[in-house]
Amino acid sequence: MTTTLNRRKFLRGTAIAGAATLATPAIAASHGTTLKMQAAWGGGIFLENAQSYVNRVNEMSGGALTIDLLPVDSVVKTSQMQDAVHRGVLDAAHYVPAYWYSKSKAASLFGTGPCFGWSSQEVLGWVHYGGGQELFDELMAELRLNVVSFFNSPMPAQPLGWFKEQITDASQMKGLKYRTVGLAADVLLEMGMSVVQLPGGEIQPAMKSGLIDAAEFNNPTSDRDFGMQDVSKHYHLASFHQSQEFFEVTFNKDTFNGLAPELQAILKYASEAENSNFYWNNTKRYADDLNKLRDEQGVNVYRTPDSVMAAQLDAWDVVVDRISGEDPFFAKVVESQKAYAKNVMGYLNLNQPDYKLAYGHYFG
């Protein structure tokens, strides 16, 4: 079997091993409540992140509540996860809103929306202290979805991704067949690209076969696990297509409401605690794997040109204005985000020193 075929089975292969490992905590809490949570990840660092959240819940509950974490496709397909939680087929799910945004484009505003000069950290601040959670709950009520969701794990900006040649100008992107998900697809279509939405495990073989010309997934660690370095040697970091994203942990509302208040609190505050753990753990892993891609596997690493990112912002303006005109709720969320970003980033931009200047002083 070739290395490529092994990588194509990366998610499914790790899912089999993961199922046995991840299911064991339920044994210790047979006297308490056990919830079945399916993740959108079959292996790799995102499944580890999901397990980290689950471990926090299981350890804090003292056996009164246990989450049994199941890898991708264990019960339903990723595209069916939200409906499965809504119906009670699953008790919970670990994924991102971009995976179900076809129900409402406003979903992408909760993690994969336009960049108003903020990062994932500030978007999560808006969720917790700027009315974002209340707006999300309003959206769930509007869609008549029987779920309760929490958000965690502020992701660094996603790279623009992997290309067959170095991108030095936005004009080179026109006509390229490109993989992304969520509202970013609308933005890149506006830029003249042809967009294909594929699950993570299908990206590398699709690029190898020529189905797509370029692709992004999320980060250097996952990209390296998928074997993207075997189909491209041109990796572009920095982009506004998905510059702030985080995980959604969603529970069946009836199941959640049926838990004791202290167990509900554990589910909520374990999500908040995972924010810090994710950022500390993942940024270190991403940096280490980026070094391996560049130094050991011959990948050319570039910063995406400003012309591309400026074109992305222009495309975001067109997309946001168009959808806002069609969907009053979408417009309502955008205005709430803009108000928060203008206020908080006004302070942070004025107060934060130029960290890049300091980095250059010491490391060149």
CATH number at residue 220: 3.40.190.10
Determine, yes or no, domain membership for 293: no
Return d(Cα 246, Cα 133) in angstroms, integer. 14
SS (H, E, C) the chain: CCHHHHHHCHHHHHHHHHHHHHHHHHHHHCCCEEEEEEECCCCHHHHHHHHHHHHHHHHHHCCCEEEEEECCCCCCCHHHHHHHHHHCCCCEEEECHHHCHHHCHHHHHCCCCCCCCCCHHHHHHHHHHCCHHHHHHHHHHHCCCCEEEEEEEEECCCCCEEECCCCCCHHHHCCCEEECCCCHHHHHHHCCCEEECCCHHHHHHHHHHCCCCEECCCCHHHHHHHCHHHCCCEEEECCCCCCCEEEEEEEEHHHHHCCCHHHHHHHHHHHHHHHHHHHHHHHHHHHHHHHHHHHCCCCEEEECCHHHHHHHHHHHHHHHHHHHHHCHHHHHHHHHHHHHHHHHHHHHHHHCCCHHHHHHHHHC
Rg (C-alpha) for the chain, rounded Å, is 20
In one-letter notation, the amino acid at residue 37 is M
> Quick one: CA dihedral 208, 211, 216, 218, positive or negative?
negative
| This prediction's pTM | 0.88
Q: Return the pLDDT at 240.
A: 96
Q: Return the pLDDT at 201.
A: 81
Q: Confidence band (pLDDT; 50, 70, 90) for 18? A: very low
Q: Are strands 33-39 and 92-95 parallel, antiparallel or unpaired?
A: parallel
**What angle, 0 to 180 degrees and rounded to 10, lies between the N-to-C axes of helices 261-295 and 44-61?**
150
For the chain, the average pLDDT equals 91
The answer to whether the beta carbons of residues 57 and 270 sit under 8 Å apart is: yes
First-to-last CA distance in the chain?
A: 44
Residue 34, domain CATH: 3.40.190.170
The answer to whether the beta carbons of residues 173 and 191 sit under 8 Å apart is: yes
Q: Which tens digits make up the pLDDT trace of 62-73?
A: 999 999 999 999
Do 249 and 265 belong together in one domain?
Answer: yes
Number of domains in the chain: 2
Return d(Cα 65, Cα 31) in angstroms, integer. 9
Q: Confidence band (pLDDT; 50, 70, 90) for 31? A: low
Give the position of tokens 């167990």: 263
Determine, yes or no, domain membership for 2: no
Determine, yes or no, domain membership for 6: no
Determine, yes or no, domain membership for 256: yes
Residue 222 tokens read as 């996952």
Do 71 and 206 belong together in one domain?
Answer: no
Determine, yes or no, domain membership for 90: yes
Q: Confidence band (pLDDT; 50, 70, 90) for 197? A: confident
Do 146 and 46 belong together in one domain?
Answer: yes
Q: Which tens digits make up the pLDDT trace of 207-251?
A: 999 999 999 999 999 999 999 999 999 999 999 999 999 999 999
Do 314 and 194 belong together in one domain?
Answer: yes
Closest residue by Cα to residue 107 from 129, 137, 85, 86:
137
Q: Return the pLDDT at 12.
A: 42
Which range marks the domain in which residue 145 is found?
A: 12-155+243-285
In one-letter notation, the amino acid at residue 99 is Y
Q: Which tens digits make up the pLDDT trace of 125-147?
A: 999 999 999 999 999 999 999 99
Q: Confidence band (pLDDT; 50, 70, 90) for 4? A: very low
Do 182 and 119 belong together in one domain?
Answer: no
Q: Which of 45-59, 77-91, 193-207, 331-345 bottoms out in mean pLDDT, i.e. has the lowest?
A: 193-207
Do 25 and 74 belong together in one domain?
Answer: yes
Domain boundary among 230, 263, 285: 285
Return d(Cα 146, Cα 328) in angstroms, integer. 22
Determine, yes or no, domain membership for 290: no
Do 206 and 77 belong together in one domain?
Answer: no
Do 175 and 103 belong together in one domain?
Answer: no
Is the confidence at residue 15, as pLDDT, over 60?
Answer: no
Closest residue by Cα to residue 55 from 281, 352, 355, 328:
281
Do 110 and 173 belong together in one domain?
Answer: no
Is the confidence at residue 84, as pLDDT, over 60?
Answer: yes
Give the position of tokens 């974490």: 69
Q: Confidence band (pLDDT; 50, 70, 90) for 115? A: very high
The answer to whether the beta carbons of residues 250 and 148 sit under 8 Å apart is: yes
Query: What are the residues whose beta carbons fall under 8 Å from the beta carbon of 239, sequence distance 6 or more?
Result: 157, 158, 159, 160, 161, 216, 304, 308, 309, 312
Q: Return the pLDDT at 19.
A: 41
Closest residue by Cα to residue 43 from 253, 201, 245:
201
Determine, yes or no, domain membership for 131: yes
Do 114 and 234 belong together in one domain?
Answer: no
Do 204 and 305 belong together in one domain?
Answer: yes
Do 25 and 172 belong together in one domain?
Answer: no
Return d(Cα 251, Cα 141) in angstroms, integer. 14
Give the position of tokens 């990948």: 299
Determine, yes or no, domain membership for 292: no
Q: Say which residue, 131 or 23, is predicted with more confidence.
A: 131
